[in-house]
Structure 1
């Protein structure tokens, strides 16, 4: 074996390929074919979208496991441990199976270079193939059409939402981005979109490729009750459902799309109303509106694009109305930083810019220029590390204030590690 520890494998993978993101299926598909199958292909649900992918995967996993299916989930990025990306029946896979999968991949790839994400995708598929799964739920990393996850022909596809993000790779319009995400569709296989504004070109793409497509607002919807909700499809409905345990009204759109997906595949993967209700009540997902009580309460959220931050701002208005909020913030330089700040600046009393030790992160100087353009002056920078920014925000906050940590998965990960 090339390496004995998972940490060594991951460090090597980060430097193996010249690009951290290299969209395209030729290299990864070639290695996947060389790996061969170690078992029957599980029923596959591929989940994409600008925002909401992780929530949809979590809900699908919770419901399907409650029904008694053996489920594997592949997600990214992770918050604390790489192993979180590859789970079987809700539990992260151990180091040894991942290292063994990496060894098999390395053995057959010859001189083909793979990105960090491609290595992880192949490892997940290899592990799942030998795990006697009933269902595998695969989260797209970036886009869809050229994402490594798309080497697998999904039995069903779910796109949680379509909005602007990763424009450098996916295009600068919702139409272009929607078409990239629609690349996970397969002829004759059900596809669901949890967005009410589906670009016409995406609908046309589905029609031309024989994809039975349904989307929120046309083929299914939901209605809120006092303490619950109803899901309403074209030819079925579920009444008096519990609200998803994941916080935020936007989760109703995600939950509705999940139920539509399950309805569309019910002949292959049947689930009961009891399993749906129990799954919704018990689903959990770290880093999404994650509230941590204490002498100064903290809210964690991985929102990192304008759409997600608008949802976060709406949640703050509804859940923490009138609360003084101190924000610890970091973001990648390739994001729409102005759009992010503009959508939430009016709710924040002061900002603490947390440095992240990675080349993709926006520098304090870049962030300060954005805040200056909006006339926001209550911004502190120059911290030695993210932990120092967290500590400063908590020191400045009163017990009835809220510290908000958001802008990047990596920042939320740093906070969770800092508190562990």
Structure 2
């Protein structure tokens, strides 16, 4: 690696890291990060919660953070990737970490990495972007005097960098086909990979309604305290014409009734909320929360980019759905919205995703497609996505169109210019798609 920056500017460090190991580069394994973690002496005196799964990880993390903050705990939350600012990846007590704090821990990680490289060889300490930044955030949390630390698993489970942590409670939200080249091409294979965030004798939550047998078998093999949706916890509710009106949750030790629908939109959020409550039930001896903390936490939770509807006209929906499972949930959520004459979609995605599967679930809900090439070597070209959309039978006539753009921003400008006041603009796909539009969309309201 080239010499680290002497600058104290976060932007300089992020540019340096991107030059060494682009953040889109994937290199699974725990040996490198474990060596540097041990060199740093990273350990936690508070409960650590790991949250993995195909979809629903961000929402589950947000629910946990919001409820624990309402209960008066000091909480650290690591999520990935970010939408607009890197600082989104590290929140302490509900606030994004300051640039100066992040740089301090970047410097500590690089010093430890250099010591490991000098002792064991450069290859033994060749950290990826995600590993390097993840270690810096772990160290930041270690020094933040937390009551609870929540870490989102980035890609898989077994070999994901965050799995180097010794979790007190682990949650697998859902299992579906994604990152098939790395995790396997069946739910059983992917379920086994994700189950490896479970720990012997500790709570292991799975909120997928139909968990793979491989996940259940692994939890039994290591003697984890497995808690399954529909067996150990569940929810029930009353649904009105357009949304859930009230719901209740039941677990092993009791019930919480009279819950208003969470502030995060989408019917799938009750499943994510149920998994979060199952984890909090399991952690009650060390992190007790009241029913009022739960109610207020659900009412005040925020998570940009997950079926986020911006105020104003035309209606703008932001959603980071980029696999078929998430696209199906997005389609269902769109169906429960009010009528809009036309829907304009801004979409960009990585080429290793099941793009036809995503398009198949949403093509009948979109009238005008604005396809973008993303600023990443892994991006699918907008022209290639257009060809896939045509292959799926999407018509091009007076009422339907497909256009391609060099960037998400250009696609957004075109969609915004073509949409009427009563129309809907759906911005979805990769985090780079939604993040690339989010600032522009907010400023144009």
Give the TM-score normalised by the residue count of structure 1.
Answer: 0.97
Instruction: Please say which of residues 2-11 and 143-152 is displaced more in the overlay.
Output: 2-11
Q: Which residue does the alignment assign to 1:406?
A: 428
Separation in structure 2 between the aligned mates of residue 336 and residue 394 of structure 1, nearest angstrom:
27
Instruction: Please say which of residues 362-371 and 175-184 is displaced more in the overlay.
Output: 362-371
Q: Which residue does the alignment assign to 2:141?
A: 128
Match of 1:198 among 199, 211, 228: 211
* CA shift for structure 1 position 4: 2.3
Instruction: Please say which of residues 229-238 and 137-146 is displaced more in the overlay.
Output: 229-238
Separation in structure 2 between the aligned mates of residue 194 and residue 218 of structure 1, nearest angstrom:
10
Separation in structure 1 between the aligned mates of residue 106 and residue 191 of structure 2, nearest angstrom:
32
Separation in structure 2 between the aligned mates of residue 322 and residue 107 of structure 1, nearest angstrom:
55
Separation in structure 1 between the aligned mates of residue 311 and residue 33 of structure 2, nearest angstrom:
44
* CA shift for structure 1 position 321: 4.3
Q: Which residue does the alignment assign to 1:251?
A: 269
Structure 1 residue 313 corresponds to structure 2 residue 331: yes
Separation in structure 2 between the aligned mates of residue 283 and residue 316 of structure 1, nearest angstrom:
21
Q: Which residue does the alignment assign to 1:271?
A: 289
Separation in structure 2 between the aligned mates of residue 385 and residue 403 of structure 1, nearest angstrom:
16
Q: Which residue does the alignment assign to 1:102?
A: 106
Instruction: Give the unaligned 5+ runs of structure 1.
Output: none
Query: Structure 1, residues 365-411: CA drift from partner, whole Å, max 9, x if none?
Result: 21122112112134433434322211211222111110110011111
Structure 1 residue 341 corresponds to structure 2 residue 359: yes
* CA shift for structure 1 position 41: 2.8
Instruction: Give the unaligned 5+ runs of structure 2.
Output: 115-121, 240-244
* CA shift for structure 1 position 129: 0.6
Does the Cα contact within 8 Å between 1:46 and 1:154 map onto a contact in 2?
Answer: yes
Separation in structure 2 between the aligned mates of residue 354 and residue 228 of structure 1, nearest angstrom:
39
Structure 1 residue 90 corresponds to structure 2 residue 103: no
Structure 1 residue 220 corresponds to structure 2 residue 233: yes
Instruction: Please say which of residues 378-387 and 83-92 is displaced more in the overlay.
Output: 378-387
Q: Which residue does the alignment assign to 1:71?
A: 75
Matches within 5 A, 1:158-173: 158-173=171-186
Tell me the SS of whatever aligns to 2:356. Answer: helix
Q: Which residue does the alignment assign to 1:303?
A: 321
Q: Which residue does the alignment assign to 1:139?
A: 152
Q: Which residue does the alignment assign to 1:34?
A: 39
Match of 2:413 among 383, 391, 398: 391
Does the Cα contact within 8 Å between 1:326 and 1:404 map onto a contact in 2?
Answer: yes
CA distance 1:188–1:404, shift in 2 (3 Å): same
Separation in structure 2 between the aligned mates of residue 124 and residue 296 of structure 1, nearest angstrom:
38
Tell me the SS of whatever aligns to 1:286. Answer: coil
Tell me the SS of whatever aligns to 1:157. Answer: strand
CA distance 1:40–1:388, shift in 2 (3 Å): closer
* CA shift for structure 1 position 294: 2.5
Structure 1 residue 183 corresponds to structure 2 residue 187: no
Separation in structure 2 between the aligned mates of residue 184 and residue 14 of structure 1, nearest angstrom:
28
Separation in structure 2 between the aligned mates of residue 87 and residue 230 of structure 1, nearest angstrom:
29
Instruction: Please say which of residues 51-60 and 5-14 is displaced more in the overlay.
Output: 5-14
Does the Cα contact within 8 Å between 1:303 and 1:309 map onto a contact in 2?
Answer: yes
Match of 2:61 among 57, 60, 71: 57
Query: Structure 1, residues 130-178: CA drift from partner, whole Å, max 9, x if none?
Result: 1100000000011011111011110000111111101011100101111
Structure 1 residue 7 corresponds to structure 2 residue 25: no
Separation in structure 2 between the aligned mates of residue 293 and residue 230 of structure 1, nearest angstrom:
29
Count residues in correspondence: 419
* CA shift for structure 1 position 327: 0.6
Instruction: Please say which of residues 192-201 and 17-26 is displaced more in the overlay.
Output: 17-26
Separation in structure 2 between the aligned mates of residue 366 and residue 302 of structure 1, nearest angstrom:
20
Instruction: Please say which of residues 294-303 and 147-156 is displaced more in the overlay.
Output: 294-303
Query: Structure 1, residues 36-64: CA drift from partner, whole Å, max 9, x if none?
Result: 14x75321000001000000000000000
Q: Which residue does the alignment assign to 2:242?
A: none
Give the TM-score normalised by the residue count of structure 2.
Answer: 0.91
Instruction: Please say which of residues 227-236 and 281-290 is displaced more in the overlay.
Output: 227-236
Match of 1:210 among 212, 223, 227: 223
Instruction: Please say which of residues 72-81 and 19-28 is displaced more in the overlay.
Output: 19-28
* CA shift for structure 1 position 11: 1.4
Does the Cα contact within 8 Å between 1:16 and 1:114 map onto a contact in 2?
Answer: no
